[in-house]
A = this chain, B = another copy of it.
Amino acid sequence: MSTIVALDTSDVRFPTSRSLDGSDAMNLDPDYSAAYVKLITDHPAGHTGDGFVFTIGRGNDVQAAAIDALSHLVVGRSVEEVIGDLGSFARSLVGDSQLRWLGPEKGVVHMAIGAVINAAWDLAGKLAGKPVWQLIAEMSPEQIVDLIDFRYLTDALTREEALEILRAAAPHKEARTAELLEKGYPAYTTSPGWLGYSDEKLARLTTEAVADGFRTIKLKVGLNLADDIRRVGLARQIIGPDLRLAVDANQRWDVADAISWMNSLGDFDLAWIEEPTSPDDILGHAAIRRGIAPIPVSTGEHMHNRVMFKQLFQAQSVDLVQIDAARVGGVNENLAILLLAAKFGVRVFPHAGGVGLCELVQHLAMADFVAITGKMEDRAVEFVDHLHEHFLAPVEIVRGRYRAPLTPGFSAEMKPESLADYLFPTGAQWQDPPVARPAALNGSASTDGGHQLSHHVQV
């Protein structure tokens, strides 16, 4: 028997605003950051449970403080009890009767809960010697539904309906696991499409993306319509008619603006428009979808919980949906969302990028393929080639597909030297001028780390 003896948080920030990587119509100067949590145990193997909330800079300290505020629900608990019943663990965090007031189930506190739940999954994976996608995939349908809080869902998805979906998948799990391990899971890339990039850079990166094997490319839109028509046209010309081209407005528009803007982009056979308006606007998305058909509508990376996703499906607001591994209440709530999407027949294109989001969300997509839907060729996980060098087990992309991770855990653990160097505001990278990266990090598994850093600092 072992115990969670401490919950440590770190405010880790990467100075990405020094370049224009990650810029979009609403987020002009992000410093990609992680409010990072490490569950320390006295387990003889020395395992920790690692998780984080992704933020874009200011407020990362508030996010870390919110994680600290959960300590009383975590520290002192038995490791075996927590990882043996992750459903009860999740409900104990969501149900804190005083913290609940600060959401409920939304914003900083809910994201903190998600990070701690994800950290517990990381620990569970490490102790089981399995990656989290496989840990989920090997659970029985009954074990999976026990993870889920069906409160507020039963008018759309009951425990029995979820069990039916999972039981239908069960006989195929072995074959699907083999297929996943062989082929990997489709990825799509947003790297060419940031708003701050010149046409030349967009064209060069799009050409590279196609050469690298990506079958779907996404561009940011929403600042200037003439620019968007030119940029989208340029990308479509480069990728040809057979590859998918999506656009993302990052919540820029009101309903009428979204309809008129998107109808001006109607000639480019778009795969979807992502976040045309406020993530809260279930009915607005439905109106936009009616107004721009047949262009598919999508949202989700900023939707704060399963109740919002439920309504998105009930109102037929979207053609497809994003999930985010670090926005809602962790693996457990994302499983609820994946089961809702399966019931309503909505495809999932998980959101990633930022720092560490690719590492996390690949597990959820793969668990969905094996244990829920059995589908992956009609969907894809976002991929952005930033900041992976800071993780012990970075994602691996081969010919436009995520390789299934084999390292035990949730791929969430950052290198100790990265946690130290980018600690805000005292780490070496936050001194002025930035201090050169220590040799230890350059010598690590991800060989483009040095390039990545200089790119951020100098471009």
Q: List the interface of chain A (C-beta within 8 A of B).
A: 26-31, 55-59, 61-63, 65-66, 69, 72, 96-111, 151-155, 251, 254-256, 277-284, 287, 302, 304-305, 307-308, 310-311, 314-315
- Could you list 25 examples of A-B contacts with CB < 8 Å? A26-B100, A31-B98, A55-B98, A59-B98, A59-B109, A61-B65, A61-B69, A62-B65, A62-B108, A62-B109, A65-B65, A102-B108, A102-B111, A103-B107, A104-B251, A105-B278, A106-B107, A107-B110, A152-B281, A154-B254, A155-B256, A280-B304, A281-B307, A281-B310, A284-B307
Q: How far is the CA of A357 from the CA of B58 in the complex (A)?
A: 29
User: Across the interface, do A59 and B284 meet the contact criterion of CB distance under 8 Å?
Assistant: no
Q: How far is the CA of A31 from the CA of B152 in the complex (A)?
A: 26
User: Across the interface, do B106 and A304 meet the contact criterion of CB distance under 8 Å?
Assistant: yes
Residue of B nearest to A102 (CB): B59
User: Across the interface, do A254 and B152 meet the contact criterion of CB distance under 8 Å?
Assistant: yes
Q: Report B-chain residues with C-beta under 8 Å of the C-beta of A108.
A: 62, 66, 102, 107-109
User: Across the interface, do A101 and B55 meet the contact criterion of CB distance under 8 Å?
Assistant: yes
Residue of B nearest to A95 (CB): B26
Q: Report B-chain residues with C-beta under 8 Å of the C-beta of A99.
A: 58-59
Q: How far is the CA of A151 from the CA of B155 in the complex (A)?
A: 31
Q: Report B-chain residues with C-beta under 8 Å of the C-beta of A255.
A: 154-155
Given A28-B97, A30-B98, A108-B109, A62 contacting B66 (CB threshold 8 A): yes
Q: How far is the CA of A403 from the CA of B154 in the complex (A)?
A: 45
Q: How far is the CA of A314 from the CA of B284 in the complex (A)?
A: 10
A59-B99, A65-B65 provided; 7 other pairs, C-beta below 8 A? A58-B72, A58-B99, A61-B65, A66-B108, A152-B281, A281-B311, A284-B307
User: Across the interface, do A58 and B62 meet the contact criterion of CB distance under 8 Å?
Assistant: no
> How many Å from the CB of A295 to the closest CB on chain B?
18
